[in-house]
Amino acid sequence: MCLALPARVVELHDDAMATVSLEGVRKRISLALVDDIVIGDFVLIHVGYALHKVSPDEAERTLAMMAEAGVLAGEIEEMAS
Amino acid sequence: MKYVTEYRDAGLAKTVAGAIVREADAGRQYHFMEFCGGHTHAIFRYGVQDLMPKNVHFVHGPGCPVCVLPVNRIDDAVELAERHGVILCSYGDMMRVPGTKQRSLIRAKADGADIRLVYSTLDALKIARENPDRQVVFFAIGFETTTPPSAVALKMAKAEGLANFTLFCNHVLTPPAIGHILESPEVRELGVVKIDGFLGPSHVSSVIGSDPYAWFAEEFRKPVVIAGFEPLDVMQSTLMLIRQVNEGRHEVENEYTRVVTRQGNLKAQTLVAEVFELRQSFEWRGLGTVPYSALRIREAFAEFDAEKRFALTPKQAREVKSCECPSILRGVKKPTDCKLFGTTCTPENPIGSCMVSSEGACAAYWTYGRFRDGQPRVAEAAE
Amino acid sequence: MNEPGHPRAPGRAIDMTHGAGGKAGEQLIGSIFRKHFSNPFLDQGDDGAALGEVAGRLVMTTDGHVVAPLFFPGGDIGRLAVAGTVNDLAVMGAVPRFLTASFILEEGFPIDDLERIVISMAATAREAGAQIVAGDTKVVERGKADGVFIALTGLGVAPDAVAPSGSKARPGDAILVSGTMGDHGVAILSKRENLDFETEIVSDCQPLADLAQAMFAVVPGIRVMRDPTRGGLAATLNEIAHQSGVGMALIEAEIPIDPGVAAACELLGLDPLNIANEGKLLAICSAEDAERLLDAMRRHPRGRRAAIIGRVVEDRALLVTMRTAFGGSRVVDWIAGEQLPRIC
């Protein structure tokens, strides 16, 4: 379930609506489920609603963790050999 | 696509795959249930299994709302459209799901019922505003992710006094379903289903947070790692599960920190609590009756409850007997164990619900992975 | 019966008299169809077009066209109809020569819209080097059609040396496409009610006879040529796999897809490989010819983003499989019925 995609907020409208953009594809979505969204934020879009703000810091941290997984394993291998 | 493409990177995939190969104990088998259809879909669509060692197995769970909706609720929706003359608004996913005697919304539509495909509850409200003389019913399905948008729609309908709009509520809850699987005799006593840990829901968790899973980790001594829906998320989370198993830990860990916090989306939770309340029990296709596993509309919003506005006839739903969907949804059987799989039941002519939704285990096996069973052959493209 | 009046007056719409075989119909034909399609064969004004002698192997095709909306980014039903018919001839190796067009018009359809469509058809036919030599118009009551339906028949001539067929793919052959996949389908979807999103994506709808000719000129022995329309690349490759009794092995990273198309597909839960194209060619040729063919495609303005996307393999199961960009593998299946946007 639950197809959802991160997209960037490019315009804020009345009635808690906003326009988001994903590779130039623009869609009007509702911000009724989130607070304190500003232009430039990335939000997770599901069935026309922003479900949650995406944290850029955490996104980076996760990628770093993935990269480290290999380094760590590599070091272990080195130690073993 | 920022925050998407990075998590599909082939280079990083090799890095994580290397770590998994090194850290997975060759002397043991790892069985991880991915609860969500979104994970099932990602595993098959990107070929994640090809990057995994042979002793790491994915057990496909029931987290596909289309798949778990019981036949009689589909029959109810068909009845609403056909006999009560309403405009029935539905997400695209539900259109081809067969009800009793293989009757689906798309067939009812072909026979003249007014069924509209919508992308959002906002579209259903718009249709209701544009057709004040017609009853408009939104066929609400889905887990905690899809429930808040339904709550918003009901609040808007009430605020506007949109008297011709109702919602047919079929929202279900994830934690009770996971609990039900863990408590089932196949897992607890018989050991038919081996589960060493869970890939926890992604977008459901963005709403409910990671805290609700603490109880499973504790009670059933199974690790849970909340995992994003991109293929690298699945791999990294699998690595985290392997580490927990190797170290004898059973904790809730969160790989999908970019959108999942411990508490989740409190605003959405508050809205849902205002509009919906627990049902004492609800029938799940495959799991049977699960207590406190679904939501219904609160009394304060009763005027927008399709089940109250329309007198639906009680149904004696009939499942196709040889269809193994119920066992497949519990992880007891694999799609290829079903006699109907790929013979009478195909995506063109789905008999069971798992073949309908592209997130259903059968559809994923058939559409993306059917070269895996029988003689294994990997696509050796002209490289 | 109402006075036919002036069919081209602003705001005028098609009514039942336009199809009744009387003066109104004749005026419509004169003021719109004959005016824009004019050529010596059509201008004969007879019940059929006498084409005279045509040298070469004849190739004939027919194609009905319905689309909603009738006007979409990058095209309209008129351009779609002509391009679609011409392309069916082009992939057979034929030079398109003559077209006939049959219109089913719904009562109330704006005559200005009809003229826009007809102008677009005429322009597309000229672009493809073909002439519309005969036509027919029928009018049905309001509610019995969706604005306008257009059916075309096309006649072309192919040299003897060129005889591609879906049954000729052999293991080892290379698979090529002439450009990005899924543009047309996404452009149409973006305008569908309740799905509407804004995008710069335009339909790729175009006649491809010149590109096809340029390809056959370089590699006359192209084994298979198709235009991957409904069902997209996935459906076309599966059809060929079954016709030829082979499998296909694709490389996802090599398949050209516009980032906007990819994004729209992600949003709707669709696969670009299942989405229709109306201006792209798929070709299968021997491995030795592949680079030369690719080069010829890329040098043509309609094939700039051409790519070799995989190869034909031996496979008794006749599957189309793909090495994913992520590094795994999967089947590329044909779609089950209509592509429905997915949310869960």
Domains with residue ranges and CATH for chain B: 5-63+176-254 (3.40.50.11750), 67-173+264-309 (3.40.50.11740), 325-369 (no CATH)
Q: Nearest C-alpha of chain C: how many angstroms from B191?
A: 31
Amino acid C338: pLDDT: 64
Please state the rounded mean pLDDT for residues C261-287: 94
pLDDT at B320: 80
pLDDT at residue number C344: 55
- Say what the pLDDT of residue B383 is: 33
Interface contact B4-A6, CB threshold 8 A? yes
C161, exposed or middle or buried, with CB in 10 Å at 0-12, 13-18, 19+?
Answer: exposed
Do C326 and C179 belong to one domain? yes
| pLDDT confidence of residue A45 | 95
B376 interfacial to chain C (CB closer than 8 Å) = no
Neighbours of C310 (CB within 10 A): 29
Q: Could you tell me which of B197, B189, B316, B311 has the C-alpha nearest to residue B253?
A: B197
The whole-number pLDDT of residue C198 equals: 87
Q: Give the model's pLDDT for residue B314.
A: 87
From the first residue on, what is the mean pLDDT of each consecutive set of 10 residues in chain B (383 residues)?
A: 95 95 95 92 93 94 87 94 95 88 92 94 96 98 96 98 98 91 80 88 96 90 95 97 97 97 97 97 89 96 97 83 86 89 87 82 87 48 33
Between B355 and A6, name the one with better pLDDT: A6
pLDDT for position C3: 38
Average pLDDT over every residue of C152-167 = 94
Residues 6+ apart with CB under 8 A from C285: C173, C174, C176, C219, C221, C222, C223, C293
pLDDT value of position C8:
44
For the segment C61-94, what is each residue's pLDDT rounded down to a tens digit?
999 999 989 999 999 999 999 999 999 999 999 9
Same domain, C290 and C179: yes
Highest mean pLDDT among C160-164, C186-190, C246-250, C332-336: C246-250
Express as a percent the part of chain C with pLDDT over 90: 78
Residue A4 has pLDDT above 60, yes or no: yes
**pLDDT at residue B327, rounded to an integer:** 85
The predicted structure's pLDDT at residue C55: 84
Last residue of a domain, one of C110, C130, C158: C158
What is residue A72's predicted lDDT score, i.e. its pLDDT?
A: 58
Does A35 contact B267 at a Cβ distance shorter than 8 Å?
Answer: yes
Per the structure, the count of domains in chain A is 1
Q: Is the pLDDT of residue C329 over 90?
A: yes
Cβ contacts of residue C263 below 8 Å, gap of 6+? A22, A23, A24, A25, B1
Q: Examine the domain organization and report whether C245 and C299 are in the same domain.
A: yes
Do C185 and C272 fall within a single domain?
A: yes
- The answer to whether C9 contacts chain A (CB < 8 Å) is no
Taking CB atoms and an 8 Å limit, are C324 and B371 in contact across chains?
no
Are C28 and C122 in the same domain?
yes
Nearest to A3 among C198, C199, C344 (CB): C344
Residue of chain C with shortest Cα separation from B39: C344
Same structural domain for residues C39 and C70?
A: yes
What's the domain range around A30?
Answer: 5-80
Instruction: Give pLDDT, residue C141.
Output: 94
- Confidence check: pLDDT of A80 > 60: no
Tell me the nearest-neighbour CA distance from B124 into chain C, angstroms.
9
Evaluate if residue C222 carries a pLDDT over 70. Answer: yes
- The dihedral built from the CA positions of residue B346, B351, B353 and B357, taken in this order, carries a sign that is positive
Q: Would you state the pLDDT for residue B317?
A: 74
Q: Could you list the residue range(s) of the whole structural domain that residue C262 is in?
A: 174-331
Cα C147 from Cα C139, distance rounded (Å):
10
Residue C180 domain flag: yes
In angstroms, rounded to a whole number, what is the distance separating the alpha carbons of residues A34 and A43? 9
* Distance in Å, alpha carbon of C73 to nearest chain A alpha carbon: 14
Amino acid at A38: V
Q: State the average pLDDT over residues C320-339.
A: 88
The band of C60, judged by pLDDT with boundaries at 50, 70 and 90, is very high
Q: Is the pLDDT of residue C216 over 90?
A: yes
C24 is a domain residue: yes
Domain at A76, CATH number: 2.30.30.140
Domain tally, chain C: 2
